[in-house]
Amino acid sequence: MNWHIVDYRMIWYTADDHIQHVEWQNSLRERFPELFPKYHVHILVARGWQLLIEELLTGIQLIVHERGIVVRVYRVQESALGGLWFRCVGADDMVQALIRGAASSALCVCERCGGPGKACLYKRWCKVLCDEHFFEWVEQMHQQQDEIAHRVRSL
Ligand SMILES: [Zn+2]
């Protein structure tokens, strides 16, 4: 298998995932313009969690409209411990409850395919994955280690 490794956390897995991710990020800014500040916002989640994030943003936008509050989302990513890390300012109790709900749902959703997942630990990394994608991830980690070892040997 030929993996395109974008960064060490492998958020995007393949080149195609990376392109899809950029398009998805842009579509979020168009769909939820009030929730994002003008400058660059980091939204780094893999494909399996994208629906969950869209539902969360839709819920936040509804509350923003109903209650007339201002919420700005600054960072959305997978945390180092494998959970959803969602940072914003202006969140009232209802928005905070929505975020907590999404974060706890994310712990049961494979970040790669969106199917039922569970927290998986490999070496010092933790990710939420289904069984199939856990084995794939381990394979990717091995391949990446081989590539790094090869690069070090050729120095
Ligand atoms: Zn999966």
CA–centroid distance, 9 to ligand 1, in Å, is 16
CA–centroid distance, 20 to ligand 1, in Å, is 17
Any alpha helices (H) in the chain, and if so which ranges? 15-31, 50-67, 93-106, 131-153
What local confidence, expressed as pLDDT, does residue 9 receive? 53
Residue 56 within a domain? yes
CA–centroid distance, 11 to ligand 1, in Å, is 13
CA–centroid distance, 114 to ligand 1, in Å, is 6
CA distance 84 to 18: 19
CA–centroid distance, 129 to ligand 1, in Å, is 5
CA distance 151 to 109: 35
Residue 61 within a domain? yes
Q: Please give the tally of structural domains in the chain.
A: 1
19-22 long-range contacts (CB < 8 A, ≥24 apart) are 20/47, 21/46, 21/47
Residue 50 within a domain? yes
Residue 35 within a domain? yes
Residue 113 within a domain? yes
Over residues 79-129, the pLDDT tens digits come to 877 789 999 999 999 999 999 999 999 999 999 999 999 998 887 778 899
For 15-22, what is the mean pLDDT? 81
Residue 75 has pLDDT above 80, yes or no: yes
Q: Tell me the torsion sign for CA atoms 107, 113, 116, 121.
A: negative
Residue 8 within a domain? no
For 47-62, what is the mean pLDDT? 96
Domain span including residue 55 = 15-153
CA–centroid distance, 109 to ligand 1, in Å, is 8
What local confidence, expressed as pLDDT, does residue 13 receive? 66
CA–centroid distance, 34 to ligand 1, in Å, is 32
Residue 149 has pLDDT above 80, yes or no: no
CA–centroid distance, 126 to ligand 1, in Å, is 14
CA distance 72 to 91: 8
CA–centroid distance, 63 to ligand 1, in Å, is 31
CA–centroid distance, 118 to ligand 1, in Å, is 10
Q: DSSP label at 69? A: -
Residue 10 within a domain? no
What local confidence, expressed as pLDDT, does residue 141 receive? 80
CA–centroid distance, 38 to ligand 1, in Å, is 33
Residue 1 within a domain? no
Instruction: Quote the distance between the C-alpha of residue 18 and its chain's center.
Output: 12
